[in-house]
Amino acid sequence: MLEKVISILEEINGDVDYTTEDELVDGGILDSFDIVGLVSELKAEFDVEIGIEDLTPENFNSAETICNLIERLQEE
């Protein structure tokens, strides 16, 4: 799953090392438009519904936290 999330992130911005970066939102690497596109791609790829309550920096600051969000949503 991590590899696919990184692949999606690289389509949005290919100039980031997503294996180590942990401030994608807090560091301003991803803006609100990027998040909208990312959420759409994640919904399509992983068949999850990402609600407004899930749109927090903590859920989108790294590829790992995004994977954790997807796993949690798939379990619900």
Identify the CATH number of the domain in which residue 46 sits: 1.10.1200.10
Q: What is the domain range of residue 12?
A: 2-75
26 vs 11: CA distance, rounded Å: 20
Q: How many independent structural domains does the chain possess?
A: 1
pLDDT at residue 58 in the model:
96
pLDDT at residue 49 in the model:
96
Amino acid symbol at 39:
V
48 vs 31: CA distance, rounded Å: 21
pLDDT at residue 66 in the model:
98
pLDDT at residue 63 in the model:
98
The pTM for the full model equals: 0.93
11-60 pLDDT tens trace: 999 999 999 999 999 999 999 999 999 999 999 999 999 999 999 999 99
Residue 47 backbone class (left: φ over 0; alpha: ψ -120 to 50; beta: rest): left
pLDDT at residue 48 in the model:
97
